[in-house]
Structure 1
Amino acid sequence: MKLNYEHFQAAHCENGVTTSLLQNVGVHQITEPLAFGIGAGLFFVYIPLIKINNGPAIAFRTLPGLVFNRTCKALDIPVVRKKFSSKQKAQSYLDQCLADGHPVGCQVGVYYLPYFPKEYRFHFNAHNLIVYGKEGDNYLISDPVMETVTTMTSYELERVRFAKGALAPKGQLYYPKEGRPVTDEQIRRAIKKGIAKNVNNMLHIPGPIAGVDGIKFIAKRIKNWRDKLGLKTAGLYLAQLVRMQEEIGTGGGGFRYIYGAFLQQAHAYLPNDDLLEISNTFTQAGDLWRSAAVQASGIYKGRIGSQEDFNQMSEYLFEIAEIEKQAFTSLSKITWKP
């Protein structure tokens, strides 16, 4: 049983799954940047009290599942999303979806993914892939971050669908319930809504840990990590920052590059030249995130490690926070022409 499905490679897993599943039901206008922007995927949060892989919880994107849900909702595409307590019921439901002709997105843990390079396998449970068929005991897998399709046995797929720990997927799967024609006017409205949501998330969430304020919050703390935590633990915390940015993120602050591409593509639907100028600002932020990752890696690997090196790391993040604040403030002031 192999569905009529075309593999789509993307910079990030949920963006790719969202784009691929929507294109599969006929929404051919959607691209990875448009899905990311309409889904208000760009974010930052630092939660020092929650530990993942012995480091603080840090995220460069919104919670898993929200890009898909928000994009489909904005385009009036109904969604099916299920979690399971029973592994048997999870597999039976998946098999029925495939029999009914639905490729499905699955949230999984990456640690036991057999086709992932070993250096990328650690306990992180918010990866997304598509199951698009089954042949014997092998499920046909389209993972958007991989170049080609692959297969997993029923045991291998069950293992990653029911991975334990933070953000445990609990067999979660999702797909568009049905395809509907999407007009350019719907895309325009969805773009505006996505931008407004992302402005709010980055500028107006109360408290110090999220959005632009979250970047400033961790920047302040980094200056004190060397003395407070010791060089080894401080290096591990910085490694966590790089891991979430580079390995589970999109590399070098890549979410900022994708958001910049979203604004460029949005310009085709909403021809306001401010979008192009602000797009360049997000590219600048992405470049600085890349520089920060290089600095953090140098500390973690022991090539550098003085207090001045930690100060420099902190300054990178303060500068990024100001750039992203400027960009989202500018977006909030755009007046859309009728």
Structure 2
Amino acid sequence: MAAPSEGLQAALAEWLTHLRGLRDASDHTLTAYQRDVAGFLGFLQHHHGESLGTARIASLGPSEMRAWMAHERTRGLSARSLARALSSVKSFIRWLADRDGFDASHILSARSPKYQRKLPRPLSESAAAEMIDQVDTQAMEPWIAARDAAVLTLLYGCGLRISEALGLTGEAHPLPEVLRIRGKGDKERLVPVVPAAREAVAEYVRLCPYPLEPGAPLFYGARGKALNPRMISKAMERARMSLGLPSTATPHAMRHSFATHLLAAGGDLRAIQELLGHASLGTTQIYTAVDAARLMEIYDRSHPRA
């Protein structure tokens, strides 16, 4: 099969560099984008039986987009994965059209396959509290138990991602009333710190055998290096087994629980979007579905069908 033209290969590399610089995309994200677009270009070359250049991309039509999507489905790609791949391809072609000055509307109009989006599985308020209490007692070293509880309190009390919590450095202590968090895409947001989180971190710092220094990690592993997120996952695995909680009780579920419980208490969706650091309101709106699903479960238990 013919290889992509040098111009097209160069365009793909330039686009990835553009994403890395403009959006501060992670290596994992860039690898996924590269794989999606390369797979699309590979299909087109096999489909047409010839090497494609950037000019040929400009002449693609809806039929070729449909043929590619049908091919991906027949080889077993799920609707969700295909939707992600189509998004990558559209992003590349949109960028190429802007760079080379052609109309890509006939390509960008390709419809994404519909799929049932998985809802986050938050813990109940009592289960979230029990999880924090459990990790606070199960480690043999008191400072490690306090550390694990402090991290989970930040996830549940402030809605931080695990990477954001473990990315805090020594100068973050004592925690201020509002944390400045740098999240995905290198975007900054302000997150109010609940008293429970401030107290939990203070207790960990009091017991921690390692010195807290500016620029050094706030949370240490047992050997004095930056805490690996896997250790928090392991602590939660032990805790959920003791508490009889499902496997969905993960560190990220604590963040889901923060958003779901805040929404159930009457929180504004736009404000929750800001607190979570979501780029799109649509990402945050999934929690309205979570809350509705939870209400239906309560209704079904209270009013069982005959």
TM-score by length of 2: 0.22
Task: Identify, as 1 or 2, the structure richer in helix.
Answer: 2
Task: Identify, as 1 or 2, the structure richer in strand.
Answer: 1
TM-score by length of 1: 0.21
Larger Rg belongs to: 2
